[in-house]
Amino acid sequence: MLAVVMLGAAAFLVASGGVGPMLSTLGAGFGSAFGRLVATPVPTTTELPPTNAPTIAAPDQPYTNQADIELSVSVPVEALGDQTAKVRIYVALTGLQAAPVVDVPIGSTSRLTVPFKLTAGRNDISATLFRGNEESEQSPVVTWILDTVPPKITITSPKNNAAIDTPEVTVQGKTQAGTSLVALNAGNGTSISSTADSKDGTFQFGLPLAAGKNVITITGTDPAGNVGTTTLNLLQGSTQMVVRLTASTYRISVSKHPASLQLTVLVNDPAGNPLAGASAFFTIQIPGLAPISNQIVTNTDGRAVFTTPLVGAIAVGSGIGTVLVTSDLYGQSTDRVTLTFVK
């Protein structure tokens, strides 16, 4: 119907001589429409809408003792082939804001391997994607912790060189959280593995002992791969010290007594070796005199000697000499001698 009307109008204009004006009007209309089509702007790369952020593959576990690592970065496919596209790597250190450290061109691959050098301590790493002048949101943060310090292993129980009177010892201590431990007893070739608590680093394990001397080496590997060691020496057997007290004389004349009296203590550890550094507290009780006492430390031979002058009105009767020996490792032990005072 519209075509018929148009033809009629055209016929009328031809008959009336109005063809020229009509063509002019139609030409102007088509020209205007074409101009509008051509004038519609084509988006440029600087006007692209923000794209998705890249992602960085997280490590299996964050601790490492290697400063040089490689970041595996996945790039959104819409950025591939864009010559303006690049990945920007950010790092935030402890107590600091994230800062850009490197820009990496993308090219035509969706996965980038970016060499990166860690700073000692915690490294929180993220990335953004640039296309033209548009920067994406930051990627999820992944964390590496650079640790190059060997773990310190502290044994809290038992004490080094302690004597253990049971066939197995329970070892307690503390080290870096999450450290893997291996204890090897050279005395019988037994070993045991353990892991320090993941929060406070405490540990506890039992280990069989051989009779006599046991040298136990404890090796710890922390989560970053650093290795630390310590040694624990134990003696399996009696925990009692051997304390023997002797006197320079046991029968004393009150009328012709010597000028002095000497007490000597010999202290051996449970294995029979001389025990140096033990505290020996001597007491002498003599009829007619007030008690006499003194404290002396055993020498490298496990020996301590106490000499006291014999002065005053000594009476006939029985006296006694005692010694109380105290050791940090073996506790306390005592011995005594009997003294007789005659006319």
Go through the domains of the chain in sequence order and give each one's CATH number.
55-146 (2.60.40.10), 154-236 (2.60.40.10), 242-342 (2.60.40.2550)
**Whole-number pLDDT of residue 51:** 63
pLDDT of residue 212: 83
Question: What is the rounded average pLDDT of the residues 36-49?
Answer: 37
* Between residues 311 and 307, the one the model is more confident about: 307
Classify residue 186 by its DSSP letter. T
Asked if residue 28 has pLDDT above 50, the reply is no
d(CA 233, CA 155): 11
Least confident residue range of 18-22, 83-87, 270-274 = 18-22
What pLDDT was estimated at residue 48? 43
What is d(CA 203, CA 157) in angstroms, rounded to the nearest whole number? 11
Q: What percent of the chain has pLDDT over 70?
A: 85
Residue 37 pLDDT exceeds 50: no
pLDDT one-digit tens code per residue, 242-285: 999 999 999 999 988 899 999 999 999 887 889 999 999 999 99
Q: What is the pLDDT of residues 168-216, one digit of tens each?
A: 999 999 999 999 999 999 999 999 999 999 999 999 999 999 988 899 9
Asked if 62 and 143 touch (Cβ cutoff 8 Å), the reply is yes
Position 41 scores a pLDDT of 38
Cα-Cα-Cα-Cα dihedral of 26, 29, 31, 35, to 10°?
-170
Half-sphere exposure of 12 (CA within 13 A, CB side): 7
Distance CA 195, CA 153 (A): 12
Predicted pLDDT of residue 295: 97
pLDDT at residue 124 in the model: 98
The predicted-structure confidence for 117-170, as pLDDT tens digits, reads as follows: 999 999 999 999 999 889 999 999 999 999 999 999 999 999 998 888 889 999
